[in-house]
Structure 1
Amino acid sequence: MADPQYQTLNPQRGIIHVPWYWPHLTKEEATDILMEHEHGDFLVRDSTTPGEYTLVVRKKQRVRNIRIHQGPKGYGVVADNCDFGDVANLVEHLQNNTHVLQRLFPNIELLNPVCKPEKTDEETAYELLRELVDKNKDCELHNSSYTNHVRRRELTLKELQLCKTKITSLKVVTSLFEEQMGLQSTELSCTMMKPAAEAMSQEEESLALNRAAVHSRIQTVGIRLEQEESNLRQLEASANQQLEEMELLHPQLLEMQQELTLLRLRVEEREIDRDYLDLLLKQEKHTNLSHYNPEYWSVDCDSRGALQLMADRVPGTFLVRPSSQGGHALSMVCALGENGAEVRHCMIYHSRNRDAYGFHPEYCIFSTLKELVIKHRTVSLKHYNRSLDVCLTYPVNYKHRLSGSEMSEGDD
């Protein structure tokens, strides 16, 4: 039975303020974090069951998740013994009384808490978000480089195996030719031991010619064999070099992914929408889109000109134009439900200090206008303005065909 003092505590009071409590952390994210730590390191995350928690512990080479149940009197790691009114005190009790924990979960011990990165007063949600976007770009580039190395090595290994097969075949052919040449030499010797004639018999001449032809083939195969063996040495050297590069890149990639996971958690703590983050960090696969060419969407006109250009165009049609206030503005066609559509306008903000663009002063996180346009092909502007639930789907100057219903360029 727990100390009675625990039963009088507020269940939420202690857990919120302890540094090893990671709210909103998923099971996969917690596993990734602890796999970078040592045996006995632990943290607490929210359970998928509302009001309950999960104690996540590194156990040798594995990560163990222990459910913290909620009962009428409080919390506990056993459903019928939930007597601790505070999760923080429960964890502290298990940490100080290892025998209690190991009686329930053999070889589990709570040695060192894994704490969240400390927040600084200077950090704003914007700064963290910008850092997250930049780090995600670096991680994508690093991952792309590593993936290319893996693919090149796979091709090299296939070529290596093919080269070995060719060498084996050439050696077999050489062996057969040498065997054939030996038989011909024996036959020629037997023929020459017969009673001599004034001129070489027709049989002897044929054997000699065949022997010369086989000898020529052996030389030809020998040249091919030398070439393939030289190619084999080059392929082996390339494969070894590629492996060294992969072994260098892989731990760097894992470290970057770990940093990205931790940084995202810090951003989520600032109550930035998860769906928005997912879309923001999603890698764009359609690199042949018209969005990549500013000629399709950058137009030198004013708001009236934009209205004329986009009259009778479908929702999602857009252009970027000069703003009457300086800088740039976005004009787009928005759906109005059963009432059709209308052209709306919004300011494109530019942070001179950070040299970045966005549709909100606090979200200037895109390095160029093109990057801003490309990303919002799939990210709705509703994340900045609830009345603008539209994605930048169709550049105004892109000549797409209409056949009954609008066909989206590069649909997933």
Structure 2
Amino acid sequence: MSSEGFQYRALYDYKKEREEDIELRVGDMLVVSKGALLALGCPVGTEERPSEIGWLPGFNETTQEKGDFPGTYVAFVGRKRMSPPTPKPRPPRPPSAASSRGDSECEVGCVLPDLPDQFSPPETAPLLLSKLMDALESKGTTWPSAPPGPTAAQFTRPYPEQLEVASLCDGVVRFFQELPGPVVPPALQMEMVNAVKEVKELEDCAQVLRGVTSSPACPAQHGLTLLSLVRHLARLCLQSARNQLSPRSLAEGFSPLLFRTSSAATCSEAPDALVQALEVLITSELNMNQAAPALPPKPAKPLTPVPSIFNNSTALQDSEWYWGDISREEVNEKLRDTMHGDYTLTLRKGGNNKLIKIFHRDGKYGFSDPLTFSSVVELINHYRHESLAQYNPKLDVKLLYPVSKHQQDQVVKEDSIEAVGKKLHEYHLQYQEKNREYDRLYEEYTRTSQEIQMKRTAIEAFNETIKIFEEQCQTQERFSKEYIERFRREGNDKEIQRIMGNYDKLKSRISEIVDSKRHLEVELKKQAADYREIDKKMNSIKPDLIQLRKTRDQYLMWLTQKGVRQRKLNEWLGLKNDTTEDEYSMLEDEDDLPHHDECLWRLGNINRIQAETLLRGKRDGTFLVRDSSKPGCYACSVVVEGEVKHCVINKTHTGYGFAEPYNLYASLKELVLHYQHASLVQHNDSLNVTLSYPVYGPQRR
């Protein structure tokens, strides 16, 4: 018996929050009976606008689950005659373009050079592959099953954007088929399989997988090619309403091409796990960069000026929030510990920095199609008042607090030296406590990592042992039947019992080994979870640690600029002062210091080894300044606890110094005179020393 119903397709992933819900993945097909909608009081015609209904009761044909799903996450496909849903196995998917061509292509052989011969960093992918994928993205259509076409090398002549979609798809497939080997080396494929099995959270798993592709064991060009392809595939998924592509379907199509699983897999589970690994990477990229928009951006409207917060200048270069050519590391530093909504061209949300690409096409700007803003400034001003949820449902935040390139850090609020000294002491204690906690976690992290590796090795050994014992058991079973039959004819029950006893002992031993292996796997799973938890704690502590150190250094710099002596600073920092007076500190007039004679410590173009030779055997605090191998900089070599240490002296437009914001000194001599009484510990905890003795100055014992 059949009834009338309606079919919908999932546009976004949904993880169920209630027992009665069903989970959705992009591309899932769902059906809802007409009776169910009538029971909800939905008028005729509303079925075509599921977002107006709210929650729909239905059946997921892809996963065979029944329950409620959000109407805002699906699109109406059409009417359908339906029967009561009965769970049944999913039909096998049609073979991918890669596998359907069979062995005929194997005869063609490899006509492309290996990836390291096609490009090198800072490029992120082979030029041919990038052009093909860019052309596919611009067309934004389905991935057809194209008939075999020309070889990938033949796509280098025409402009890819002028080719038909079928030819473009075929070109991408052939590109990977004609490489000499898989994009991901076989040795790393098992690491990806282990990651998928052990790490359940999608983002955590994606992070581990990215780590595998960027590890030293993976050639740089191979890892870059994989991640570049993942980014392209994620952008194709953004147009799922048109092309019906999902991370799962793309992963199933590309996994055999990228991993060559038919030859590289070592177990039957590996191909499925590698498909899952690729799906995780695509889904993570999709979620991280640009999830499908809930609504298109509203047209920009006139804004009243708010001079106290934003500069509404229409010139991009004049905008306080535009930092120009700034690295990702600098962005992370600027946005650390700022409020949600702070941005450069980066947004602070949920404790993380979200990088959002602004597209530019035909004189218009925007985060996604349609591009409606005439300038970046207009776009930013629009999202000062409107939530970014219009563009991405996961970014329900406004751009409220710009990180201004004009602002200066004003950390020290106190106005007296004693008050600042007390705050310095407090921040230093907090920093030390946080540093001890981080060190403890790091030791635990290292130990757990080693134990996990040992357990994995032990499990592999168990697998080999079990295999050997099972082969021995099969051999004994085969021969035992013959001997038992002979001894039974002879009436020799004692020998029969001995053979049966040996067989039982062997089976018992196998059972013990299997139990030990299972126990070890349980321990490994728990320890892997602990390992990830420790890593999360370390990552959460690290920003606090850096911020505490930065604040402490600001207070140190303020006190140093006020002329506070190192002995007093050491008291606030809890450092021991030398019981004997520094012979140079006994000189009442600083003009008498040998540091004024640059010939005693500035040695010019000598290398690191020569500097260490000159300073070897000298007392702590003996130093020299030399030219650095880093262009435009200098290096200071100084004896600390009997060892020669080296640190870079920066030369910037604000002056000389060891680090920002300390690049304040007009000359090297001024810097040396300052650090004659100020310790380098404020820049490096292992450099608790002052520049006390020029290398060619008096060396008193």
- Give the TM-score of the pair, scaled to structure 2: 0.29
Structure number with greater Rg is 1
- Give the TM-score of the pair, scaled to structure 1: 0.45
